Structure 1
Amino acid sequence: MAAVEGGSLCGLCSAAAPPYTCPRCHRRLCSLRCYRAHGPCAEAFYRDQVLEALRAERSCPPSPALPGLRELREPGDPGRPTGRGLWEQLSEEERDGFRRLVSSGEAAALLPRWRPWWWRGRGRVEELGDGSGVDEEGGEGRPGPAPPVPTSVPPLSALRAAPPSPLVRFQLPNALFGYAFALSLHGGDETLLPELPDAAIAASAALRDRRPFASTAEALLSARRDARAAGLPLSPLGDSGALLAVAQLLEGRDSRDPGADVAAALWHLWRLLRAGARVLPPPERGRFRGARRKVGFLLSWSRGATEELGQLAREARGVHAEVAAEEVAMAQVRERLEKVWGGPRPPLGKERVEEAPWMVTEGARVVMEGVFGGPRPAPDDGADKRRQGRRLIEELD
């Protein structure tokens, strides 16, 4: 939506002086509530934008992760793919909104949901369907087939004579996060090379270099930070969903072979890294080869450490629970602020926080610091900010 001037009436509730307009049909709207009621029209507009960007990405030669989404080409760029002219019809504010939509990961909500192969589903209930491959819960297809479990994995003793460090176990959840994150980010499309394995390396320090971790929580949260630092969009699984994926892979779906899913994921990642290296010029293949050697080492270690996989799974579940609870608290704060503002951002011309609090996920503490302008209320800020802080604390409690 774009702010416009004028004194016409809202196209839904007839309120005076509506400040927004639908980017598709240009109907004037007065508030977030009316926009949501009119949502399907605007959502279809943004869905077209996302699909056009994805088509442009696939038509371009390989380059760093997600070039079509992270480097939107402006009008007049000779390398810009021809389209239906939708970009030229957008105002600068609408273009900025679309860039935020892509970089925040919200664009994935406009596309059909991709279900990873390790998805649990609804268990035996799913088998009672009509065989159409679509369940009643979400109207979406079932996950694709799981990658094969390698039949012959050399023991760790064949790779090194000395016993590994006890900290090697924490390398595994970090690498699995990179795999789950990259696969979900690209919708499981293995033809997106070298972007898909490149995203896995960007999110996993265990695949990039010799980075020790002292706990499962440190390994997982480090991978989450690295993915953001690399400028990659949020995973379509969600911030906590990528952590849940690691826990599910570590738990495994086969009670007779608890490490089968970990082995399948690592073997799949190894093959993706090999395929990605083949499309790169020889000078750039070194980091893919190094990551592949580390994946092979973790694969050999995991096949002989099934008991430790169970412990790692429980620890990953705990990390996921904490982050999921944090997401719920942040979503509640965001919803309340949007009700006050009448939209996703503060109205123009009023005092506002420099950064939107939901763009930082360090917890409710950061939201309060955004309100106070520091870790504590400033003594000269007056009663208004103190009252606002107390209300937010009560809401969080």
Structure 2
Amino acid sequence: MAAAGEEEQPPCGLCGAAAAPYTCPRCNRRLCSLGCYRGHGGCAEAFYREQVLQALETERDPPPSHDRLASAFRRLRQLGEAEDAAGPLGRDLWKSLSPAERAGFQRLLSSGEAATLLPAWRPWWWRRRRRLGEELGKPQAGKEEEGAPSPPPFLPAVITPLSSLRAPPPSPLVPFQLPNVLFGYAFALSLHSGDETLLPELPAAVLDVSAALRGRRAFASAAEALHAARYDVSVAGYPQCPLGDAGTVLAVVQILEGREGRTDGEDVAVALLHLERLFRKGESHLPKEERRRFSNARRKCRYLLAWSREAPETLAALAEETRVVHAGVAQEAAVLREEAERGCGGPWRELISDRVNEGLGERRLIQELD
């Protein structure tokens, strides 16, 4: 789904809405939102099937069926970005697949598992995530996670100071707004794999998860702010994002601490400025009467940004408290995993292997067991 230019747009080809900034990569139908794009899913599904079959055709020595499909799906991102990505259907190749491979392929498409086979998206703040056993003080052997983090958003040299804003002096509870906002930011970016063209869905997800941005919700501690965001994820009906619950809390720690051990709050500033830009872009995709909630959230981001640049010691304290919360959430995940193993009757790695052989995605099952 590609964002269109600024010229006048034809109406949505599904619901008739006036603004339709997206285009189906296969039929070129103009669409107004992610919902309408999924609503004409037969066409979108056919497009992805074509690309996977085309990619499979280039494999000279294909591995077993699931790995073969995974290898093809990992090339979809590059194929999807090309203007001429839609190629021939590849009927001969489709006929060459076994019935089990065809059924597994259709399952991947219909269940959404296809997306888990694409290269993992790494956020700009990402540092190698230690395995759960390592987080609990149990060193484990194994390969590091693959992939490189995306480049950080631009940070201007000059940021408006807090004294220049028309706002009351900061409350003692202001610091605890920040972990709640950063949790929403990390969750929404991870949920949408960093795709900033998903507007207004991406910034709307931040608002759904961050009560500090939705209204005047106050928190008495970082722990309260983080657990409130976790609760809002479930209330809003969102699935668990690829970072996982503990991973999203860990993302807040990493942003507060800063890359390479920096504690000057620069990464917090980068996150808040990035979030402010996302709300600004999202406003243009909303009807005029619905833009206020985005503009209010944008102003709160600007206020927190100005405050954070003057409180590096407070940010360090928030990072320490958030690390304690992360340890608790990670321990909670470990207990749930042990219960799942007892209930399923075997080690979770073996269970994953069995499920993968049935055509289900490994990464999604790991999230279920975590």
Q: Could you tell me the TM-score, scaled by structure 2's length? A: 0.62
Per-residue deviation, residues 40-96 of structure 1 (Å, max 9, x unmatched): xxxxxxxxxxxxxx989x987354xx648xx975xxxx775363499xx99xxx9xx
Out of 233, 239, 245, the residue aligned to residue 233 of structure 1 is 239
1:147, CA displacement in angstroms?
1.0
Separation in structure 1 between the aligned mates of residue 289 and residue 369 of structure 2, nearest angstrom: 37
**Residue aligning to 1:180:** 186
Does 1:81 pair with 2:87?
A: no
Does 1:116 pair with 2:123?
A: yes
**Residue aligning to 1:61:** 31
**Residue aligning to 2:146:** 140
1:137, CA displacement in angstroms?
3.8
Letter in 2 for 1:120: R
* Residues 1:331 and 1:79: Cα distance change in structure 2 (over 3 Å): closer
Letter in 1 for 2:278: L
Per-residue deviation, residues 292-324 of structure 1 (Å, max 9, x unmatched): 011011001100011000000000100000000
Separation in structure 2 between the aligned mates of residue 141 and residue 208 of structure 1, nearest angstrom: 34
Separation in structure 1 between the aligned mates of residue 261 and residue 326 of structure 2, nearest angstrom: 22
Does 1:264 pair with 2:270?
A: yes
Out of 171, 177, 188, the residue aligned to residue 171 of structure 1 is 177
Separation in structure 1 between the aligned mates of residue 29 and residue 202 of structure 2, nearest angstrom: 16
Out of 291, 295, 300, the residue aligned to residue 297 of structure 2 is 291
Partner SS state of residue 332, structure 2: helix
* Residues 1:98 and 1:221: Cα distance change in structure 2 (over 3 Å): farther
Q: Could you tell me the TM-score, scaled by structure 1's length? A: 0.58
**Residue aligning to 1:306:** 312
1:359, CA displacement in angstroms?
8.1
Letter in 2 for 1:81: C
1:194, CA displacement in angstroms?
1.1
Q: Which has the higher contact order (CA 8 A, sep 6+)?
A: 2
Per-residue deviation, residues 346-383 of structure 1 (Å, max 9, x unmatched): xxxxxxxxxxxx9899xxxxxxxxxxxxxxxxxxxxxx
The answer to whether the Cα contact below 8 Å between 2:128 and 2:145 also exists between their aligned partners in 1 is no
The answer to whether the Cα contact below 8 Å between 1:62 and 1:193 also exists between their aligned partners in 2 is no
1:155, CA displacement in angstroms?
1.8
* Residues 1:285 and 1:329: Cα distance change in structure 2 (over 3 Å): same
1:162, CA displacement in angstroms?
3.8
Is the radius of gyration larger for structure 1 or structure 2?
1
User: Is there any run of 5+ residues in structure 2 with no aligned partner, and where?
Assistant: 1-23, 50-98, 130-141, 353-366
Partner SS state of residue 45, structure 2: coil
1:112, CA displacement in angstroms?
2.1
The answer to whether the Cα contact below 8 Å between 2:222 and 2:322 also exists between their aligned partners in 1 is yes
User: Is there any run of 5+ residues in structure 1 with no aligned partner, and where?
Assistant: 1-53, 123-135, 345-357, 362-397
* Residues 1:328 and 1:154: Cα distance change in structure 2 (over 3 Å): same
Does 1:192 pair with 2:162?
A: no
Letter in 2 for 1:194: P
**Residue aligning to 2:158:** 152
Separation in structure 2 between the aligned mates of residue 100 and residue 259 of structure 1, nearest angstrom: 43
1:238, CA displacement in angstroms?
1.0
Out of 318, 326, 330, the residue aligned to residue 324 of structure 1 is 330
The answer to whether the Cα contact below 8 Å between 2:256 and 2:315 also exists between their aligned partners in 1 is yes
Letter in 2 for 1:61: L
1:158, CA displacement in angstroms?
1.9
CA RMSD of aligned residues (A): 3.8
Per-residue deviation, residues 110-148 of structure 1 (Å, max 9, x unmatched): 4321111111249xxxxxxxxxxxxx9457331111112
Letter in 2 for 1:217: A
* Residues 1:161 and 1:331: Cα distance change in structure 2 (over 3 Å): closer
Does 1:204 pair with 2:166?
A: no
1:280, CA displacement in angstroms?
1.7
The answer to whether the Cα contact below 8 Å between 1:267 and 1:299 also exists between their aligned partners in 2 is yes
Partner SS state of residue 271, structure 2: helix
Partner SS state of residue 83, structure 1: helix
Partner SS state of residue 164, structure 1: coil
Give the length in aligned residue pairs: 266
**Residue aligning to 1:30:** none
The answer to whether the Cα contact below 8 Å between 2:336 and 2:369 also exists between their aligned partners in 1 is no
Percent of residue pairs bearing the same amino acid type: 53
Q: After the TM superposition, which residues 380-395 of structure 1 pair with which residues of structure 2 at under 5 Å, given as runs? A: none
